[in-house]
Amino acid sequence: MASFWLLGLLMLSDGFLSSCLASREDVACCGQDAVLATTVPVRHQYADLGWPEVVLSCPALKATSHVEWRMNGTSAAGWTEAREGDHLVLLNASLADDGEYTCHDAATGQILQKIHLKLGYPPDKPVVQCRSISYAAINCSWCLETETHLATSFISTYRHGLEGEAYECPQSVPMANVCSITNLQLFSTDPYMLNVTAINPLGTATTLSFIFLDQIIKPDPPEDVKVSPINKERKKLLLTWKPPGSWLLPEYFPLKYSIKYSVDGSNNSKRVDNRGNILHPDRHPSWSNLPRPSGR
């Protein structure tokens, strides 16, 4: 009796062990397929919009194997693009062709290649503009006239004079399109040279700008502008203002102001230049526009 139970236990154990081993082999097999499906690295490919042909290549496992292409998981069976062997050729590709392409072994479905295709343009030369609202800094900005449709970063450097040392013109982030030049040499006649380079996966483009400080300074408008009557002076008004807060050291670098005003609804306006911050323009009983001073 004991031998019978022992034999039955051995048979049960053997069956259970065989089942266990089979299950582990199945899991290992399935796991390997999953690894093959998920560990294929994504290759990034960039191409110019408007190119007649964009070629995507796929490494076949065997010389006799066939491949199937998919875009964003959808079979490419209905596509009209030309195919040459294991390559997929996109004709006159547009932005609609952006996406993730995968090529598969047609027999097993195994992923052989993943390609993330991004279409766009190389950058053109940045259009640069610089301005200074005081002698403390030069603020420059730039833009690209043509949209690249690709992530584009910028490198900006400057030097003082033709042979000066090059310095970084700081940007908040590499994608930013503004930078500031500080620690200016106020009384130098040498220009500042700003070099802005646009970079994306399809190319680079550079603009070199010569900046003369005295030609780009444009102060902010005056602040705290007030117009008030003057006692016993019925035909005059008192106009006062303060230099813009962004203009540093106004006592050493005084601004010249231009005041424009008109009276009685007339289309004819008067303009007065003044270096101070008080003016007594003649007034008429009715004013159509209040005086507007501007600094320069």
Query: Average pLDDT for residues 3-15, to the nearest whole number?
Result: 36
pLDDT of residue 265: 63
Q: Where are the domains of the chain?
A: 42-120, 127-216, 223-295
- pLDDT, tens digit, 9 for 90 and up, residues 257-295: 888 777 766 665 666 666 555 555 554 433 434 445 566
The C-alpha atoms of residue 90 and residue 97 are separated, in whole angstroms, by: 8
pLDDT value at position 48? Answer: 95
Q: Which residue reads 């003016």 in tokens?
A: 279
CB atoms within 10 A of CB 11: 10
To the question of domain 223-295 being in CATH 2.60.40.1120, the answer is: no
The predicted-structure confidence for 93-128, as pLDDT tens digits, reads as follows 899 999 999 988 888 888 999 999 999 999 999 999
Q: The pTM is what?
A: 0.70
CATH of 127-216, one of 3.20.20.140, 3.50.30.40, 2.60.40.10, 1.10.10.1100: 2.60.40.10
Q: What is the mean pLDDT of residues 60-80?
A: 72
Nearest alpha carbon to residue 281 among 229, 204, 243, 232: 229
Domains 42-120 and 127-216 are alike in CATH topology: yes
CA dihedral of residues 89, 90, 92, 93 (deg, nearest 10): -150
CATH superfamily of 42-120: Immunoglobulins (2.60.40.10)
Helix or strand or coil: residue 37?
helix
Section 15-35 average pLDDT? 39
Check residue 68 and give its pLDDT.
86
Strand pairing of 99-105 and 111-120?
antiparallel
Could you give the 3-state DSSP secondary structure of residue 23?
helix
Helix (H, G, I), strand (E, B) or coil at 227: strand
Average pLDDT, the chain: 78
